Amino acid sequence: MDNPADSPKSLTESNPFLPDPDLLETLHVSDYQTIYDESIRDPEQFWGKIAEDFRWSRKWDRVLDWNPKTYEARWFSGSLSNITTNMLDRHIDEGLSNKVALIAVADDGSERVYTYGRIMDETNRLCHSFAEMGLKKGDRVTIFLPPTPEQVISMIACARSGLVHTVVFSGFSAGALKSRMEDSEPRLLITADCAYRRGKRIALLDTAREAKKAITSLEKTIVIRRENPDLELETGEIPFDSLLKKHASSGFFKAVDCTTDDPLFILYTSGTTGKPKGIVHTHPGYMVGTFLTTRWVFNIHNDDVFFCVADPGWITGHSYIVYGPLLNGATVLLAEGSPDYPDPGRWWHLVEKYRVTVFYSTPTAIRLQMRLGKQWPEKYDLSSLRLLGSVGEPINPEAWLWFREVTGGRLPIMDTWWQTETGMHMITPLPGVPLVPGSATRPFPGVVADVVNRQGESVAPGEAGFVIVRQPWPSMFRTVYGDPERYRKYWEEIPGVYFSGDSAKRDHHGLFHMIGRVDDVIKVAGHRLGTAEVESALVSHPCVSEAAVIGKPDELKGEVIKAFVILRKDAERTPDLELRIRQHVREELGAIAMPDEIEITEWLPRTRSGKIMRRVLKARELGLPEGDTSTLED
Ligand code: PRX
């Protein structure tokens, strides 16, 4: 399908998908444009009004204290709050103690159900344990767990104690976990004996033990014993269950008051250098932003069962499994494992079984389902679904249309564009607006986003440009942990505006059509990877002397990694060398970073100053014009 942004007669004019009349009656926001215009006229008033509904230990002096010189945005400055008071205490006081907060389904299909009351109880016990260990506000805690209730409760207990969690995706290797711990210097690590995927046991504790050897800041490790409740632990390792037992009657733990500057979490993501950056979010702004986007974008009501297929190890899971939905008092479905195990109907089966109403997925997952075939969704009763979502990478219209068709042909799809840094949805439809397959439509209320040229001027409709945000928004990241310079760079690329690193076009109706990254970030199946990160893993292989990595379009995963490597002179070129190099990257970083293809080469294009020109490699690979090569050395 042509990109609708290319033609003046866009799809919006000819054939948008209009909302179902039944849906219109349930909407929190029935008139996007009026709300949007109002929100932009006075963003502080807009966000301040939303924040009024939360519990605060102390109200703010200013909704936004913005320093345009340092780009520091202190939302709700002067306030004291704790996000968990608004996720737990408030709901429990309002009578939701017995409401199901979390349904966790493990890889083998076994289920555990947690009410708001039970989450509060286990959170309190864990908070008492943290206090007993002497952990103090601001201390970092690394959480290396599969998607399980313990992962969610560990995050919430850290937040409640004023500790800063850094969740590391459980598919990462020891090397990736270690580098994240080296940067954040945690005092505590929380992990498990194992994770499960496709019926296979993954030895998580071995990875954690390998990674933690060199972490001198680490004092203790809490271990969840999933497989063997009697597993013997090493010195410094404490079983999770013993802590819960010990504090069974320690009672209520009052949430620690946090200011606008107190970090809630650090989440590592890839950038253009080899070192992942620790994106820092703080309590009050993140709370207000994730609450409202969850509510309005997914049209959340009391009876919703929300299923987001991400892992809480990524930002999508932070914002839209843990914080946003629980702030809204919703019921969340958390699934360990894989979409096609034990069979390709797994997710559809979960939708039917738990009467899921909102299903938030990713383009790669949808394309995988397309490949597996319609017969799978057709086997299940999906009539509980009201609304769908997509995130992580551009969704092609074919996948969008298929997703809608197999779920009954009437459901709105929210194609939500946002980032680890933004914390919340930024460009997204609201249910009720006309939808165009493949478009994230327009900015969320309160968000001033645009597509611009290098000078920061809006580009003409149909022209590609950089996606930027002109004004601060509540759940924006506050800094890059330990590297304020790197934070400022986001605002200096085009002075004074937030530079997202993405490109897009707006059509003649102002709708956004996302294109992809303009920097050295690759999106493989929606996972964000830096070329430099993968390259440094490649050159750490004893046979590799130099490496360059590009993202190559892929029908299923959006992009896959192709690596060009120059071998060392003394490297022995065995038939399995490419495979060994790929395996090596897997061991260094994790399976998601493993290149699909390795090309052994004698030469890499470079600038005269020696910088590898990945752009040229990519153009050659794809048979595209190489662009300006005047800086290319001979
Ligand atoms: O390139 C954009 C892409 O994902 C990037 C952010 O990745 P990460 O920080 O890992 O967060 C992913 C989950 C929010 C963006 O810079 N991206 C995210 N959502 C979309 C998208 N690209 C197109 N359409 C989307 N809906």
CA-nearest residue for atom 18, ligand 1, is 392
Residue 516 belongs to what H/E stretch? Answer: strand 512-517
Half-sphere exposure of 32 (CA within 13 A, CB side): 19
Q: Would you say the C-alpha torsion 107, 112, 117, 120 has a positive or negative sign? A: negative
Q: Is 331 in the same domain as 479?
A: yes
Q: Is 467 in the same domain as 593?
A: no
Q: Where a domain ends, among 246, 277, 301?
A: 246
Q: Is 313 in the same domain as 455?
A: yes
Residues near 10 by Cβ (< 8 Å), separated by ≥ 6? 4, 436, 507, 508, 509, 511
Q: What is the pLDDT averaged over residues 392-404?
A: 96
CA-nearest residue for atom 14, ligand 1, is 419
Neighbour-count burial of 146, counting CB atoms closer than 10 A to its CB (0-12 exposed, 13-18 middle, 19+ buried): buried
The predicted model scores a pTM of 0.96
Q: Would you say the C-alpha torsion 284, 288, 289, 290 has a positive or negative sign? A: positive
Residues near 292 by Cβ (< 8 Å), separated by ≥ 6? 50, 424
Residue 15 belongs to some domain of the structure: no
CA-nearest residue for atom 10, ligand 1, is 528
For residue 283, the one-letter residue type is H
Q: Is 497 in the same domain as 542?
A: no
pLDDT interval class at 8 (50, 70, 90): very low
> In 79-136, at which residue ranges do the beta strands (DSSP E only) sit?
100-105, 111-115
CA-nearest residue for atom 8, ligand 1, is 419
CA distances from 578 to 265, 490, 538, 561 (A): 38, 36, 11, 14
Give the angle subtended at the CA of 446 by the CAs of 291 and 309, to the nearest 5°.
40
Which has the higher per-residue pLDDT, 5 or 250?
Answer: 250
| Per-residue pLDDT, 13 | 52
CA-nearest residue for atom 21, ligand 1, is 393
CA-nearest residue for atom 4, ligand 1, is 392
pLDDT interval class at 631 (50, 70, 90): confident
Which residues on neighbouring strands pair with residue 552, listed in sequence order?
560
Average pLDDT, whole number, for the chain? 95
Q: Where a domain ends, among 185, 220, 246?
A: 246
Per the listing, tokens 């294009």 go with 605
Please determine, for residue 232, whether its predicted confidence score (pLDDT) is greater than 90. Answer: yes
Which has the higher per-residue pLDDT, 5 or 437?
Answer: 437
Q: Per this entry, what is the length of the chain? A: 634
Residue 100 belongs to some domain of the structure: no
> In 521-575, at which residue ranges do the beta strands (DSSP E only) sit?
521-524, 527-530, 544-554, 558-567
Residue 75 belongs to some domain of the structure: yes
| Per-residue pLDDT, 196 | 97
Assigned token pair, 391: 């995130």
The domain that holds 545 is classified in CATH as 3.30.300.30
Residue 207 belongs to what H/E stretch? Answer: helix 204-212
Q: What is the pLDDT averaged over residues 445-454?
A: 98
Neighbours of 70 (CB within 10 A): 11
pLDDT interval class at 2 (50, 70, 90): very low
Q: What is the pLDDT averaged over residues 233-243?
A: 97
Q: Is 510 in the same domain as 451?
A: yes
Alpha-carbon distance of 162 to 77, in angstroms, equals 17
Q: Is 500 in the same domain as 542?
A: no
Q: Is 275 in the same domain as 393?
A: yes
Alpha-carbon distance of 568 to 4, in angstroms, equals 48
The domain that holds 293 is classified in CATH as 3.40.50.12780
The domain that holds 142 is classified in CATH as 3.40.50.980
The rounded Cα 430 to chain-centroid distance in angstroms is 20
| Per-residue pLDDT, 609 | 85
CA-nearest residue for atom 22, ligand 1, is 393
Q: Is 473 in the same domain as 557?
A: no
Neighbours of 306 (CB within 10 A): 24
Ligand 1 pocket: which of 280, 467, 514 to mutate (most atoms within 8 A of CB):
514
CA of 111 relative to ligand 1 center, distance in Å: 30
pLDDT, tens only, 37-58:
999 999 999 999 999 999 999 9
| Per-residue pLDDT, 4 | 46
Q: Is 287 in the same domain as 378?
A: yes
Q: What interhelical angle do 283-297 and 43-51 show, nearest 10?
A: 90
Alpha-carbon distance of 391 to 418, in angstroms, equals 8
431, 23 Cβ separation under 8 angstroms? yes
Question: Which region, left, alpha or beta, applies to residue 578 given φ > 0 means left and ψ of -120 to 50 means alpha?
Answer: alpha
The boundaries of the domain holding residue 157 are 116-246
Residue 359 belongs to what H/E stretch? Answer: strand 358-361
Residue 47 belongs to some domain of the structure: yes
Please determine, for residue 246, whether its predicted confidence score (pLDDT) is greater than 90. Answer: yes
Q: Is 174 in the same domain as 301?
A: no
Residue 302 belongs to some domain of the structure: yes
CA distances from 384 to 22, 95, 104 (A): 14, 25, 19
Ligand 1 pocket: which of 172, 413, 418, 529 to mutate (most atoms within 8 A of CB):
418
Residue 628 belongs to some domain of the structure: no
| Pocket of ligand 1 from Cβ distances under 6 Å | 269, 315-316, 391-394, 415-420, 440, 500-502, 514, 517, 523, 528
Residue 91 belongs to some domain of the structure: no
| Total number of domains in the chain | 3
Atom nearest to 319 CA in ligand 1: 14
pLDDT, tens only, 479-509:
999 999 999 999 999 999 999 999 999 998 9
| Per-residue pLDDT, 107 | 97
Q: Is 240 in the same domain as 268?
A: no
| Per-residue pLDDT, 627 | 80
Residue 9 belongs to some domain of the structure: no
Assigned token pair, 308: 């987001």
Per the listing, tokens 């199901």 go with 100
pLDDT, tens only, 262-309:
999 999 999 888 889 999 999 999 999 999 999 999 999 999 999 999
Ligand 1 pocket: which of 323, 391, 522 to mutate (most atoms within 8 A of CB):
391
Q: Is 424 in the same domain as 506?
A: yes
Q: What is the pLDDT averaged over residues 335-347?
A: 95
Alpha-carbon distance of 451 to 449, in angstroms, equals 7
| Per-residue pLDDT, 1 | 39
Q: Where a domain ends, among 474, 495, 516?
A: 516
Assigned token pair, 326: 């629980």
Q: What is the pLDDT averaged over residues 205-233?
A: 97
pLDDT interval class at 633 (50, 70, 90): confident
Atom nearest to 514 CA in ligand 1: 23
pLDDT, tens only, 549-560:
999 999 999 999
